[in-house]
Amino acid sequence: MSKLAWLNGLPLEEAKAEFLRCCGSTRWAEAMARARPFKTDTAVYSEAGWLWSQTSTEDWREAMAHHPRIGDVSKLRERFKASGAWSEQEQKGVQGAGEDVLQGLADGNREYEERFGFIFLICATGKSAQEILEQLRERIKNPPALELRIAAGEQAQITRIRLEKLLTSP
């Protein structure tokens, strides 16, 4: 059975739980679960993007709250059991970073959260710790409304990557 057929055949609550692994917005996950059955993987991605565009700032903040801090690699599996392995893969570039970069991420995350009221969210896949730190330092200068929209865009990218993993991983 294909992963798409499996996903389409899940009971509603189980499908919602699978979609929550991809994006922590309850509203979005419920809408995705109700949008089934999907004919193709592409249809899943398309619907996911469209539904995300229909969400509110409250949904964005809820989704962001389901992510570990960048660099919080030691707690990924413990705190985020449903998506911890995926987060760990996505933050692979942070592993092995120098102490100065890790400290910069820790300090920057704290400052960012104080300024904006949510964690620094970036699609970390393929980025080094230094690149992430540079983005953090740049984005902290943004006005709050702009930064919230940027973070929501990063969430959309992360969701797409996680949907791909959901539909292709064994």
Q: Where in the chain is the domain with CATH 1.10.3330.10?
A: 63-168
**pLDDT score at 90:** 53
**77 band by pLDDT with thresholds 50, 70 and 90:** very low
d(CA 81, CA 137) in angstroms, rounded, equals: 29
Task: Compare 70 and 119 and report the one with higher pLDDT.
Answer: 119
When comparing pLDDT for 101 and 21, which is higher?
21
CA distance 22 to 166: 8
Between 73 and 125, residue with greater pLDDT: 125
Spatial contact of 98 and 60, defined as CB atoms under 8 Å apart: no
- How many C-beta neighbours within 10 Å does residue 169 have? 10
For residue 99, the model assigns a pLDDT of: 81
The CATH H-level superfamily of 63-168 is: Oxo-4-hydroxy-4-carboxy-5-ureidoimidazoline decarboxylase (1.10.3330.10)
Mean local confidence (pLDDT), 17-32: 97
Q: pLDDT tens digits, residue range 102-149?
A: 889 889 999 999 999 999 999 988 898 899 999 999 999 999 999 999
Q: Which of 60, 52, 82 is nearest to 160 (CA)?
A: 52
Q: What is the pLDDT of residue 71?
A: 67
Q: What is the tens place of the pLDDT at every residue in 2-23?
A: 999 999 999 999 999 999 999 9
Bond into 144 cis (ω within 30): no
What's residue 125's pLDDT?
A: 87
Q: What is the mean pLDDT of residues 27-56?
A: 98
The pLDDT, as a whole number, for residue 129 is 87
Whole-number average pLDDT of the chain: 88
Residue 87 has pLDDT above 70, yes or no: no
User: What's residue 76's pLDDT?
Assistant: 39
